[in-house]
Amino acid sequence: MEASKVIHAFYTDDEVLLDAVKEVKAAHHHIEEVFCPFPVHGLDKAMGLAPTRIAITAFFYGITGLAFAIWMTNYIMIEDWPMDIGGKPSFSWIENMPSFVPIIFELTVFFAAHLMVITFYMRSRIWPFKDAENPDPRTTDDHFLMEIPVNNNEEALVSLLAKTGAVEINIVDKH
Amino acid sequence: MYQFSGKLKTFSLALIIIGLIGTVFSFYNGSQKTIEDAKQVIAASHSSGHGESHGAAAVHAEGDGEGEHASEIEAHAADEHGDSHSEENGTKSYSSKEEHNVAGSHEAVEGHTEKHTNENQSVEEEHSVSDVQEHEEHVLHQLQNRPWSAFYVALFFSLGITLLVLAFYAIQRVAQVGWSVVILRVMEAISANLLPTSILMILLLAASVMHMNHLFPWMADGTVDPASENYDAIVDGKSWWMNSTGFMVRSILYLVAWNVYRFFIRKSSIKEDTANDGNKTYKKNFNASVIFLFIFMITESMMSWDWIMGLDPHWFSTLFGWYVLSTLLVSALTVIAFFTIYLREQGAIPGINDSHIHDLAKFMFGFSVFWTYLWFSQFMLIWYADIPEETTYFVMRFTEYKLPFLGMVVMNFVFPILLLLNSDFKSKPWFVVIGGVVILAGHYIDVFIMIMPSTVGAQWFFGIPELSALCFFIGLLIYTTLNAFSKANAIPKGNPFLKESEHFHYYNIEHTGEGSADH
């Protein structure tokens, strides 16, 4: 298929990379992936990536934690065994609410934080013993790599990439 | 340079005049209150039913009154089971206790009076006559206090906001903040409100010291004189701090210290524009701001003890200074955001973009949560331990001010957290304005609840006195701010961080009228 061959263009500077991405986008080529050793400010916008929705998931996880904490305090302290502990009113949940707030707060944060992190791991496909998907070890140190699929336009792509300041251009078979 | 628009000038002056007329009217109205009015109020509260007035009795018993009240109820319950002889004994021991309490505090008296009219009427007939008189006098004082407190709430709120704008401004200088340089002049302009409010504050405090009102109970005649029937041992024990001379000296010191910094920094900041002296002036302003922040943190704390906690001389809380700080800080940021948005709409400040608004909104959001944290910490600690001498503060607020007390938590916490959580919403001016209006109203209520229960108690209402005081200070704030803003460059040209501020860009904000190529 068409994605069997890809071009790997290497850059050594994030500013050059950013300009190269903009140029490649302007020439209407699809960028498969960009590998960077560190976050490059504005790269997602230049590539036209959709904004992340992880904050929205965190909000709902937080609400889940809130609901769980309210249910838990209400069930344990009010419904199941409403004891008089040091004169605290256990007739209804709202009467004793202030003493539940610390746990409600902590559980909200706990749910929001942990479930969001797990969501991030799952969406990014990161887990222990996972094989690294690194096309070139230099991209973790001081090189940036742009991967573009080839569709019978090899020469045009290579000349375009050479113009953008790539230090090395390889054509790789991808399986 | 910004031109103070004639329309807005007229509007703010109109607000000031309307506020003044309303305030004068309510002071006149308040001074006309007589003991007859107090009697009517008491009669009205009694006719509202036995159960309710009984509940009110417990509420009115403040300070040490509450504990004794509770023990009395117990004693009373025991009496009912005993024979007639022991009952008489019990009553006797009661009345001696009572006499002590009458001297003790107004609040305690009130509690007992209600109790007597309900339960012990026949036995205590003779005694309760004087009690009723004291009660009436107490209610009369509350009625007379209302215009004073209404003015005081708005004055303190306005002064506090201005002061915290100044403190936030000093923080920006000390932290060498990059983003906010283009709005430093807005903050400077708002702080112009400090001088007039300070003068009004001194006048009001002087009037209190001269017994023109009953705002501060510890100022009443004879509270520290053991021979007087007004003698209050608790106030006497605190009189090394709470005495009129010390109070006035301290108050004037705070206000002078703040105004001196404001005067210096404003002058020197304008000098900075044209100084061209290798940032010497800039560094001088930096140093002045460091010193001011140090003094500010101390004076702000003491100011909250003197001006707010002093209204309840029997009550104390260690968190209070911070709590007052947080409520004023979030309001101050909201006011900064309002003026920034307005002046940006007018095209008066070049270089402001959505990211600046976004940052201000983030501060409003963050400090709203900070306020909630302090408010809840104070409330929950007192609620949890439930020590009578501390709890009365909230018992009073919870029973007599339930709607504003709970409503303000919604307005100051729930509303901003839901409205300003979303990053996109924070850069939309109209969203920030909606959130800001609710935040400002909520924190006005917060100050209202700090002051009103101690001065007018159950006789509160939001009417002409409160509204006109508010009008007056809003008008004053708009006038002084925009007037000061029109007197200097809209942008502090000499600030070394100006360029950074003009190019400030929060990464995930799409600015209005900007394409993706601008990123």
The reply to whether residue A45 touches residue B516, judged by beta carbons under 8 angstroms, is: yes
Q: A76 and A137, same structural domain?
A: no
Please count the other Cβ atoms lying within 10 Å of the Cβ belonging to residue B223: 20
Are A64 and A113 part of one and the same domain? yes
Average pLDDT, chain A: 92
Domains contained in chain A, number: 2
Cβ contact, residue pair B383, A98, below 8 Å? yes
pLDDT value for B34: 83
Coil, strand or helix at A148: strand
* pLDDT for the residue numbered B457: 86
CA pair distance B230, B133, nearest whole angstrom:
14
pLDDT at B276: 85
- pLDDT at residue B505 tops 80: yes
Which of B29-38, B341-350, B424-433 is predicted with the least confidence, judged by mean pLDDT?
Answer: B29-38
Residue A118 lies in a domain: yes
Are B268 and B284 in contact by the 8 Å Cβ rule? The answer is: yes
**Residue contact A98–B423, C-beta within 8 A:** no
Question: What residues of A are in the B interface, CB distance below 8 Å?
Answer: 41-42, 45-46, 48, 51, 55, 59, 87, 98-99, 101
- Asked if residue B53 has pLDDT above 50, the reply is no
Mean pLDDT of B450-471: 91
Across the interface, whether the CB atoms of A41 and B384 are under 8 A apart is answered no
Say if the Cβ atoms of A46 and B519 lie within 8 Å.
Answer: yes
Mean pLDDT over each residue of chain B, to the nearest integer: 84
The 8-class DSSP code of residue A8 comes to E
Which residue is closest to A26 within chain B, CA to CA? B517
Q: In chain B, which residues have their Cβ closer than 8 Å to the Cβ of A48?
A: 516
Which pLDDT does position B237 carry in this prediction?
Answer: 93
| Residue at B503 is within a domain | no
Is A61 in the same domain as A88?
yes
- Restricting to B residues 448-507, those with a Cβ less than 8 Å away from any Cβ of A are 507
A103 domain-assigned: yes
Compute φ and ψ for A173, nearest 5 degrees: -80, 130
Contacts of B384 in chain A (CB under 8 A): 98-99
Interval B396-451: pLDDT, tens: 999 999 999 999 999 999 999 999 999 889 989 999 999 999 999 999 999 999 99
CA distance B118 to B436: 47
- What pLDDT was estimated at residue A175? 63
Judged against a pLDDT cut of 80, whether residue B113 lies above it is answered with no
Asked if residue A115 and residue A59 are part of one domain, the reply reads: yes
Q: Residue B495: is its pLDDT beyond 70?
A: yes
Q: How far is A172 from chain B (nearest CA, A)?
A: 31
Chain A closest CA to B519's CA: distance in Å? Answer: 7
Q: Which has more pLDDT, B209 or B120?
A: B209
Which range has the worst mean pLDDT, A154-163, B321-330, B463-472?
A154-163
Give the model confidence (pLDDT) of B269-324 as tens digits.
999 999 888 889 999 999 999 999 999 999 999 999 999 999 999 999 999 999 99
Q: Within this chain, do residues A22 and A47 fall inside the same structural domain, yes or no?
A: yes
**pLDDT value of residue B325:** 96
Distance from CA of A42 to the nearest CA of B (A): 7
Mutate to test the interface with B, among A45, A101, A103 (most CBs of B within 10 A): A45
Q: Does A163 map to a domain?
A: yes
Mean pLDDT of B238-259: 95
B172 lies in a domain? yes
Residue in chain B nearest A59 by alpha carbon: B421
Which residues, listed in sequence order, are joined to residue A9 by a DSSP beta bridge? A146, A169
Q: Provide the residue range defining the domain that includes A67.
A: 54-123
Residue-wise burial string across B116-151, b where 16 or more C-beta atoms lie within 10 A, e elsewhere: bbeebeebbeebbeebbebbbebbbbbbbbbbbbbb
Indicate yes or no: CB of B380 within 8 angstroms of CB of A98.
Answer: yes
Disruptive mutation site among B369, B414, B427, B516 for chain A (greatest number of A CBs within 10 Å) = B516
B375, closest residue in chain A (CA to CA): A98
Please state the domain count of chain B.
1
- Cβ–Cβ of A51/B383 closer than 8 Å? no
Contact yes or no for B380 and A99 at CB 8 A: yes
What percent of chain B is helix, strand and coil (3-state, nearest 5)?
80, 0, 20
pLDDT of A159 > 50? The answer is yes
Look at B423 and A55 and tell me if their CB atoms are within 8 Å: yes
Chain A nearest CA to B56, separation (Å) = 20
Kindly report the CATH number assigned to the domain that includes residue A145: 3.30.70.260
A48–B516 C-beta distance less than 8 A: yes
pLDDT tops 60 at residue B73: no
Measured between alpha carbons, how far is B180 from B325 in angstroms, rounded to an integer? 21
CA distance B299 to chain A (A): 32
B519 contacts in A (CB within 8 Å)?
A: 42, 45-46
The reply to whether residue A98 touches residue B519, judged by beta carbons under 8 angstroms, is: no
Residue A15: band (very low, low, confident or very high) from pLDDT cuts 50, 70, 90: very high
> Which residues in chain A touch residue B507, judged by CB atoms under 8 angstroms apart?
41-42
Name the residue among B512, B507, B485 with its Cα closest to residue B184.
Answer: B485
Q: What pLDDT does residue B155 have?
A: 96
Contact A59 B421 (CB under 8 A): yes
- Closest residue in B to A40 (Cα) is B507
Residue B163 pLDDT level (bands cut at 50, 70, 90)? very high
Residue B135 pLDDT level (bands cut at 50, 70, 90): confident
Residue of B nearest to A48 (CA): B516
- One domain for residues A110 and A67: yes
Q: B102 or B219: which carries more pLDDT confidence? A: B219
Residue B25 C-alpha from the chain's centroid? 23
Q: Is the pLDDT of residue B515 over 60?
A: no
Whether the per-residue pLDDT at A140 is higher than 50: the answer is yes
- Residues of chain B with pLDDT > 90, as a percent, come to 63
Rounded CA separation B410/A43 (Å) = 40
Chain A nearest-CA distance from B423, in A, is 10
Average pLDDT over residues B223-249: 92
β-bridge mates for residue A172, sequence order:
A6
Q: Kindly state whether residues A58 and A47 are assigned to the same domain.
A: no
How confident is the model at residue B41, as a pLDDT? Answer: 81
Look at residue B305 in the predicted model and tell me its pLDDT: 95
Query: Does residue B85 have a pLDDT over 60?
Result: no
A10 by DSSP, 3-state: which? strand
Of the residues A104, A123, A142, the one at which a domain ends: A123
Which chain A residues have a beta carbon less than 8 Å from that of B383? Answer: 98
What is the reported pLDDT for B137?
A: 84
- Identify the closest residue of chain A to B421 by CA–CA distance: A59
Chain B residue with CA closest to A41: the answer is B507
User: Which residue of A42, A51, A98 is in closest CB contact with B519?
Assistant: A42
Q: How many CB atoms lie within 10 A of CB B9?
A: 15
Does a structural domain hold residue A89? yes
- Residues near B299 by beta carbon (within 8 Å), at least 6 away in sequence: B253, B254, B257, B258
Is any Cβ of chain A less than 8 angstroms from the Cβ of B406? no
Structural tokens at position B286: 């930096």
B159 vs B424, more confident: B159
pLDDT for the residue B96: 39
In a domain, residue A164? The reply is: yes
pTM of the shown model: 0.85
- Assess whether A114 and A139 both reside in one domain: no
Query: Is A154 contained in some domain?
Result: yes
Q: Say whether pLDDT at B93 is over 70.
A: no
pLDDT of B67 > 90? The answer is no
Average pLDDT, stretch A83-91? Answer: 93
| Closest chain A residue by Cα to residue B510 | A45
Mean pLDDT of A54-64: 96
| Domain assignment of residue B502, yes or no | no
**Domain presence at residue B430:** yes
Q: Over pLDDT 70: what percentage of chain B? A: 83
CA distance A10 to chain B (A): 23
Q: By the CB < 8 Å criterion, does B89 face chain A?
A: no
Would you say residue B460 has pLDDT above 50? Answer: yes
Closest residue in A to B423 (Cα–Cα): A55
For residue B176, give the DSSP letter. Answer: T
Which chain B residue's Cα is nearest to A18? B519
Query: At B453, which amino acid appears?
Result: P
Q: Do B507 and A41 touch (CB under 8 A)?
A: yes
CA B16 to chain centre: 20
The average pLDDT across A69-81 equals: 96
In a domain, A128, yes or no: no
Whole-angstrom distance, CA of residue A64 vs CA of residue A55:
14
Structural domain that includes position B148: 6-34+49-496
- How far apart are the CA of B380 and the nearest CA of chain A, in angstroms? 6
Which pLDDT band holds residue B108 (cuts at 50, 70, 90)? very low
Give the residue-averaged pLDDT of B256-265: 97
Tell me whether B376 touches chain A (CB under 8 Å): yes
